[in-house]
Amino acid sequence: MTHGIRPYWQNFIGGEWVDGGDGGRITVTDPATGQPIAEVARGTPADIDRAVASARACFNSRLLRDMRPHRRGDLMLAVARELDACVEEIALLECHDNGKTLAAGRAEVALTQRYLTYYAGLADKLEGRQIPLGDGYIDYTLHEPYGVSAQIVPWNGPLPVGARSIACAIITGNTVVLKSPEDSPLSLFVLAEACQRAGLPAGAVNIVCGYGHDAGAALAAHRDIDQIVFTGSVATGQSVLRAAVDRVVPCVMELGGKSGAIVYADADLDRTAASAVRGIFNHAGQICSAGSRLIVHRSIHDDLMAKVHKLAAQRSVGPGIEACDMGPLINARQLDRVEALCRVGVDEGATLLMGGARVPGMPGHFMAPTIFTNVRPDMRIAQEEFFGPVLVVLPFDTPEEAIAIANGTDYGLAAGVYTRDLKLAHWTADRLVAGQIYVNEWWAGGIETPFGGMKRSGYGREKGQEALLGYVQTKNVAIRL
Ligand code: NAD
């Protein structure tokens, strides 16, 4: 349609490119303009059936399982290499279907390649145990793949989120059916092409785009899947879990967050302000682990907020293709939702320091960077996930109060602490209920560090070596000699 983007993309099932079963298509639009940029085949429940059957046939063939593990790693290395030639194409796609800048799109490819190579290197390092049972016995454990891994991916970072789950599944000998997000499906099709060129067996990886309530629900409820990896909102995660419960299918659940950072009085305020602003305004706050609550000691509150306000006000808002600092929200529905929750914040009596509404006069779904101060923990804006560029700031007087505020939501994905006092940092990290704690830098960590939630933010871990344990089940073999 425009921008040098291929106008039509098919689904990848059983090693072949296919139209939607009933010929339907989904129009993908650019969130920065609201204009259509491409169409994709609309996967239906019948397409999900075909994809699961292909993944099952590939799994049952034992092609992947019987390979030397390092050969499965080689396959992932080959996919990573194939992506070298796709960096600019993917950057452009991420720019136009997801609202990222070209630089951010290129960074997503580099991150994806890191996931692929990291897990490739782990393919031959997942070892079992030998358990002593005394004379006359030998006992050992095996890590067995589950079988068909059903993966459902959100729109905000589909390529790295999809690639890390695919890599973990393949190197442990599973096969994959991945339901890509209907709002931003394009980069995952390029990954499917890379898998095909890299020589993955037909059916090892199947990528189907479709609507959540249709193809997504059909995949979660499918009778022939063996494991689910879901990344998305709590409400959708709950419906996926309800579908899984019937057949007792194990799930990895990566859900939402309302992550808070505590800023103690001795923190380096310049660095804290820069870190906090990045933590909430990167990708317009559409990151599950965004630092969306700042919990600030009253004695430094005004100084810190002056710095945060200044940095936030310097952020340019506009299309990623123009290298603006902050792009659009993904769609009109999400912009309406974020704006409406901001109105709730004003009604609840919080102080609107900046923003609070869409950017007027722009065709896309642009929300102004928004900061609320004087927020109380019981306010809706302190409890609900915006998934947008909205920071809520809550003051505190004692460390105990700060911990209570930080832990006082249904979520537990990430939390942070800013202080020069290492003892206080440890004390705080110990008491925060969240899957990852960032000390003095939001998003400190990497692909090597386990990532996942506590409480309603989910369970199971992606990233790091620990992620592999979500893709295997232990079999014990006890031998009477
Ligand atoms: P979403 O839950 O609406 O959609 C996620 C995926 O689920 C999409 O592919 C969608 O098509 C599919 N889906 C929708 N309804 C379904 C159904 N009934 N059955 C099966 N699948 C269905 O979430 P979103 O708006 O795409 O993403 C935003 C949410 O995801 C936020 O809450 C964010 O915090 C969370 N998220 C979490 C992580 C993490 O790692 N913890 C990462 C990214 C996003």
| CA 201 – ligand 1 centroid, Å | 29
Question: Closest residue (by CA) to atom 21 of ligand 1?
Answer: 216
Q: H or E segment at 396?
A: strand 390-396
Most ligand 1 atoms within 8 A of CB, residue of 42, 165, 180, 236 to mutate: 236
> Is the pTM for the entire model greater than 0.95?
yes
pLDDT of residue 312: 98
What span, in angstroms and rounded, lies between the C-alpha atoms of 319 and 102?
A: 10
Closest Cα partner for 12 from 159, 166, 188? 188
- In this prediction, residue 2 carries a pLDDT of 56
Ligand 1 binding site (Cβ under 6 Å of any ligand atom): 152-156, 179, 181-182, 212-213, 216-217, 220, 231-233, 236, 239-240, 254-257, 288, 385, 387, 413, 453
Could you give the residue numbers annotated as active site? 254, 288
Per-residue pLDDT in tens (0 to 9) along the chain, 481 residues: 556 899 999 999 999 999 999 999 999 999 999 999 999 999 999 999 999 999 999 999 999 999 999 999 999 999 999 999 999 999 999 999 999 999 999 999 999 999 999 999 999 999 999 999 999 999 999 999 999 999 999 999 999 999 999 999 999 999 999 999 999 999 999 999 999 999 999 999 999 999 999 999 999 999 999 999 999 999 999 999 999 999 999 999 999 999 999 999 999 999 999 999 999 999 999 999 999 999 999 999 999 999 999 999 999 999 999 999 999 999 999 999 999 999 999 999 999 999 999 999 999 999 999 999 999 999 999 999 999 999 999 999 999 999 999 999 999 999 999 999 999 999 999 999 999 999 999 999 999 999 999 999 999 999 999 999 999 999 999 999 9
Rounded to an integer, what distance in angstroms lies between the CA atom of residue 109 and that of residue 105? Answer: 7
Q: In angstroms, rounded to a whole number, what is the distance separating the alpha carbons of residues 160 and 80?
A: 12
The residue whose CA has the least distance to atom 39 of ligand 1 is 254
Residue 4 has a pLDDT of: 84
Instruction: Determine the Cα–Cα distance for residues 240 and 232; give it in Å rounded to an integer.
Output: 10
Question: Quick one: CA torsion of 131, 132, 137, 141, rounded to 10 degrees?
Answer: 0
CA-nearest residue, atom 26 of ligand 1: 154
- How far, in Å, from the CA of 147 to the mean position of ligand 1? 23
Tell how strand 370-373 and strand 351-354 pair up.
antiparallel
Q: Which residues of 242-255 are buried (b: 16+ CB within 10 A; e: fewer)?
A: ebbeeeebebbbbb
